Amino acid sequence: MFGFTSFAALRACIAQQWSPGIGDPDVTGWLTVLSYLACFVLALRVTMRNPPGTARGLWLTLVPLLGFLAINKQLDLQTALTATGRCMAHAEGWYDNRALVQIGFIAGLILVVLLALLLALRSLRGRLRGNGLALVGLAVLCGFVLVRAVGFHHVDSLINMDFARIKFNFWFENAGLVLIAINALLLLRRGSPRRQPQQVTPSRR
């Protein structure tokens, strides 16, 4: 299996480089997880209440995506993916030519993200104004994922730079989440029932 005698051998190789655990124990890491969870709840409420002007398909996509990214933030699943690829490369004998595979992986990921954004944009015809912030937020998150994907191969110097004593990846990632949260709150506010003023009937004497 992938150059290994058994799945257990592959799993043992991966375990030498990655194990389930808290990937980012810093305060900023947990704040980002909370941001993901908050956006997950807001997106879920939007899909359940379906306010006027909601692009339901977009929000149905955001719900599982935000949930997965919240889990991935601390489990660091991209490191597990990198470890899997490295183990397979060594076992199958193409480790010295791994650059071609890396380029193909990144190109494929970019293509998938672009196609997903184009399909999302197409589905928002007539409803872009009410869901545009969420789409931009999704694009920012996709951009962050792409930067991290390149970072698999040690080209992540940009997101490791500090801004206001906090790594740029915190601002990058949370910018998309803030846009999604704002859009969700605007839609939920639009769909909330308004209280009708009570009419006072004159008392008869």
Where are the chain's structural domains? 7-189
Query: Each residue of 26-38: pLDDT tens digit?
Result: 899 899 999 999 9
Is-contact 43 66, C-beta < 8 A?
A: yes
The three-point CA angle 191-194-196 to 5° equals: 155
pTM for the model stands at 0.81
Q: Give the separation between CA 137 and CA 177, rounded to whole angstroms.
A: 6
Q: Report the percentage of the chain scoring pLDDT > 90.
A: 31
Q: What is the pLDDT, as a whole number, of residue 92?
A: 85
Confidence of residue 168 (pLDDT cuts 50, 70, 90): confident
Better-scored residue on pLDDT, 21 or 15: 15
Q: What is the pLDDT, as a whole number, of residue 118?
A: 87
Is-contact 74 114, C-beta < 8 A?
A: no
